[in-house]
Structure 1
Amino acid sequence: MKATHHDTVLAEAPESDLIKIEGNWYFPPSSLSSELFTESPTPYTCPWKGEAQYFTVTTGGEPQKDLAWSYPTPYPTAFDRVGKDFSGYVAFDRSVTITD
């Protein structure tokens, strides 16, 4: 599967490597075009997943604030709920196109 924004590929991996949580596809860290991502200071803590890390992603030469997020160290109970360890996996804002 592929995540794109403004014709820029942000991540690409087989669907079997992704994890779907609450309607969002989470891509493994190794699938990211990491040079496009910069950590954002935006704070957020999910009640059941834990503390999120947001990312500003540069597409089309323009920074897109908080276009992506991950949970670097999710709560251990979240693994039971999801069924897998999703530490560091990255999901994207709805403006990002996810295709097969």
Structure 2
Amino acid sequence: MKAVLNGTVLAEAPTEDLIKIEGNWYFPPESVKAELLQTSPTPYTCPWKGDCQYFSVQDGEVVLQDRAWTYPEILPGAVTRVGKDFSNYVAFWKEVRVTD
């Protein structure tokens, strides 16, 4: 699967390597083009996943705020709930399309 923004592939991995959580596909960290992401200061804590790290995504000359996120250190019960450790996996939002 691919995470694509206006023709630019932000992440790509086989479907079996991704994890779907609450309707969002999470890509393994090694499949994400980190050079296209910028760390965002936006804070968020999920009550069952833990502290979130948002990223803004570069789209040509435009930076799209908080279009990707990860959970660097997930809470203990999250692995049990999801069935796999998804620490540092990256999900995308809004203009980023996830396709086969």
Q: Which amino acid aligns with 2:11?
A: A
Name the residue aligned to 1:32: 32
Q: Whole-Å Cα distance in 2 between the matches of residues 95 and 48 of structure 1?
A: 26
Q: Which amino acid aligns with 1:91?
A: A
Q: Whole-Å Cα distance in 2 between the matches of residues 68 and 27 of structure 1?
A: 11
Q: Whole-Å Cα distance in 1 between the matches of residues 89 and 26 of structure 2?
A: 5
Q: What is the deviation of 1:50?
A: 0.4
Q: What is the deviation of 1:60?
A: 2.3
Q: What is the deviation of 1:59?
A: 1.6
Return structure 1 stretches of 4+ with deviation > 6 angstroms: none
Q: What is the deviation of 1:95?
A: 2.1
TM-score under structure 2 length normalisation:
0.97
Q: Whole-Å Cα distance in 2 between the matches of residues 12 and 79 of structure 1?
A: 23
User: Residues 1-100 of structure 1 correspond to what in structure 2 (within 5 A)?
Assistant: 1-100=1-100
Q: What is the deviation of 1:71?
A: 0.3
Alignment root-mean-square deviation, CA: 0.8
Q: Which amino acid aligns with 2:7?
A: D
Alignment coverage as a number of residue pairs: 100
* SS of residue in 1 equivalent to 2:88: coil
* SS of residue in 2 equivalent to 1:35: helix
Q: Whole-Å Cα distance in 2 between the matches of residues 88 and 61 of structure 1?
A: 27
Uncovered stretches (5+) of structure 1, i.e. residues with no partner: none
Q: What is the deviation of 1:6?
A: 1.4
Q: Whole-Å Cα distance in 1 between the matches of residues 61 and 3 of structure 2?
A: 17
Listed one character per residue, the Cα deviations across residues 27-50 of structure 1 (whole Å, up to 9, x for unaligned) are 001001111011100000001000
